[in-house]
Amino acid sequence: MAITTAITNSYKQEILEGVHASTDTYKIALYTESATLGATTTAYSATNEVADGNGYTTGGKTLTGYTSGFASSKAYITFNDPEWTSATITARGFLIYNSSKSNKAVAVFDFGSNVSSTNGTFTIDLPAAGASALIRIG
């Protein structure tokens, strides 16, 4: 089982089809090291997601601050840093998905190792808008 960082294949095609919009609701869900996620992931699934409770809710958190643009020959999207407060979480990676469009997968990210918080704030520090933004096409 593995989490492999990728913009999903389905998202790339759906962009060309006009499926996703800036006004949609995007979510981020955390996954354990037992998850199998990557470029072929097509939709959110609760399988091997971090367990509900201890500051985390299954299905993840709604992302805010949708920002898109173009820099250094790359189109990009990023969001505000998501955080879970008073959380006891261990996660290996995360999935960004579009809950407005049948939970279609957007991108998968692997932390590289398990990341934990113990009754503290679990924050994912997303890259700023620009050429190194979270989701880049180009």
What per-residue confidence (pLDDT) applies to 129? 83
Ranges in the chain, pLDDT < 70: none
Domains in the chain: boundaries: 6-137
What per-residue confidence (pLDDT) applies to 136? 87
- pTM, two decimals, is 0.95
Mean pLDDT across the chain: 95
Per-residue three-class SS string for 39-69: CCCCECCCCCECCCECCECCCCEECCCCEEE
What residues contact residue 108 under an 8 Å CB cut-off, 6+ apart?
Answer: 3, 4, 5, 6, 8, 37, 38, 39, 41, 93, 94, 95, 96
Sheet with 83-98: list strands edge to edge. Answer: 6-7, 104-123, 83-98, 26-31, 61-62
